[in-house]
């Protein structure tokens, strides 16, 4: 505790006197023109595509079929699912060559298997951010952290109605400060690096490929 006391004492002795005003971040972002749902959807798709993700806008009735078709295209043999209704729906629509399982065991019990044998992971994003093409994952009991990270192909389903215009809107709209999960992850493309001579390469340590399925909002024309 000695280091703690010393460090805090030194800072307290030097800290400026008098109150300083808290910067108003909300005021800075206020008053920007609101984007419509269609604009937000379009922007999300465009930004993700620019970041090298494969983006498809799908219908509520047929999304599982579209995902299944993509799995077949990519030759996915072993698929890992997030537990929940969407995962079950997808499991019922899989192509013949794809075998699916829910992420249901603690990581320690099957680490090598996850790293070596799983071809793809399927998750449902909590929400998304249009401006930067970002998919928000709230990791918890039903959303393991490694599901969106270890398999080389990551497939994400996101509801267009859950797309925010900006990071500020998402943080405020979802009231993150009051409900932070153990791990909140924002994903804006496949894993990449430019560490060798500024040359962009994908699939550094995370998924080399990211496929995003945007669920068209209710009442929107096809």
Partner 1 sequence: MSKHPMQFVPSADFKERARGALDDDKLRKSFRGAMDFLQAKRRNQFSDEEERESLRDLGSAIRKYALANLPDLLEQLERKLTANGIQVHWAETAAEANAIVLDIMQRNAARRMIKGKSMASEEIELNHYLGEHGMECVESDMGEYIVQLAGEKPSHIVMPAIHKNKADVAKLFEEHIPDTPYTEDVDELIQTGRRALRQRFMEADVGLSGVNFAVAETGTLWLIENEGNGRLSTTVPPVHVAIMGMEKVVAKLDHVVPLVSLLTRSATGQAVTTYFNLISSPRRPGELDGPREVHLVLLDNGRSQAYADEQLRSTLQCIRCGACMNHCPVYGRIGGHAYGTTYPGPIGKILSPHLLGLDEAGDLPFASTLCGACSEVCPVRIPIPDLLIRLRNEAKRNPNETVATPLRGQGAKHSAAERVVWQFWSGAFKSPKAWAALRWGATRLRAFTPGAQAGWTQHRTPLKPAPRSLHDLLKDKGQPE
Q: Which is nearer to partner 1, 95 or 117 (CB)?
A: 117
Helix (H, G, I), strand (E, B) or coil at 207: coil
The answer to the question of residue 46 lying near partner 1 (CB under 8 A) is: no
Q: Which two tokens stand for residue 126?
A: 């909590």
Q: Which is nearer to partner 1, 36 or 198 (CB)?
A: 198
Per-residue binding letters, 61-100, with partner 1 (x by CB under 8 A)? ----------------------------------------
The answer to the question of residue 32 lying near partner 1 (CB under 8 A) is: no
Q: Which is nearer to partner 1, 20 or 36 (CB)?
A: 20
Query: Rounded to an integer, what distance in angstroms lies between the CA atom of residue 47 and that of residue 35?
Result: 15
Query: Rounded to an integer, what distance in angstroms lies between the CA atom of residue 40 and that of residue 159?
Result: 12
Q: Binding segment for partner 1 among 38-46, 54-62, 146-154, 157-165 (CB under 8 A)?
A: 146-154
The answer to the question of residue 7 lying near partner 1 (CB under 8 A) is: yes
The answer to the question of residue 33 lying near partner 1 (CB under 8 A) is: no
Query: Rounded to an integer, what distance in angstroms lies between the CA atom of residue 96 and that of residue 109?
Result: 28
From 34, 106, 219, 222, residue interacting with partner 1 (rule: CB under 8 A): 106
User: N- to C-terminal Cα distance for the chain?
Assistant: 63
How many Å separate Cα 10 from the centre of its chain?
A: 41
Token match 């009051």: residue? Answer: 178
Q: Which two tokens stand for residue 107?
A: 């990581």
Measured at the CA of 116, the angle between CA 99 and CA 101, to 5 degrees, comes to 25
Distances (CA, A) of 214 to 48, 54, 88, 140: 11, 11, 18, 22
The answer to the question of residue 176 lying near partner 1 (CB under 8 A) is: yes
The answer to the question of residue 199 lying near partner 1 (CB under 8 A) is: yes
Q: How many residues bind partner 1 (CB under 8 A)?
A: 76
From 10, 92, 117, 173, residue interacting with partner 1 (rule: CB under 8 A): 10
The answer to the question of residue 30 lying near partner 1 (CB under 8 A) is: no
From 39, 145, 161, 220, residue interacting with partner 1 (rule: CB under 8 A): 145
Q: Are 90 and 102 in contact (CB under 8 A)?
A: no
């Amino acid at each position: 505790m000695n280091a703690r006391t010393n460090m805090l004492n030194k800072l307290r002795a030097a800290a400026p006197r008098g109150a300083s005003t808290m910067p108003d971040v909300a005021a800075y972002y206020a008053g920007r023109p609101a984007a419509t749902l269609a604009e937000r959807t379009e922007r999300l798709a465009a930004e993700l595509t620019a970041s090298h993700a494969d983006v498809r806008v799908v219908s509520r009735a047929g999304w599982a079929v579209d995902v299944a078709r993509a799995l077949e295209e990519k030759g996915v043999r072993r698929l890992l699912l997030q537990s929940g209704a969407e995962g079950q729906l997808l499991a019922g629509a899989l192509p013949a060559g794809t075998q699916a399982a829910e992420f249901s065991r603690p990581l320690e019990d099957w680490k090598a298997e996850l790293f070596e044998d799983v071809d793809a992971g399927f998750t449902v994003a909590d929400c998304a951010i249009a401006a930067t093409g970002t998919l928000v994952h709230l990791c918890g009991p039903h959303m393991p952290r490694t599901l969106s990270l270890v398999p080389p192909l990551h497939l994400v389903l996101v509801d267009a109605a859950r797309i925010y215009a900006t990071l500020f809107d998402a943080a405020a709209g979802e009231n993150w400060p009051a409900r932070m999960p153990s791990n909140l992850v924002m994903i804006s493309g496949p894993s990449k690096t430019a560490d060798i001579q500024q040359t962009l390469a994908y699939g550094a340590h995370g998924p080399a490929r990211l496929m995003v399925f945007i669920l068209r909002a209710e009442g929107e024309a096809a």
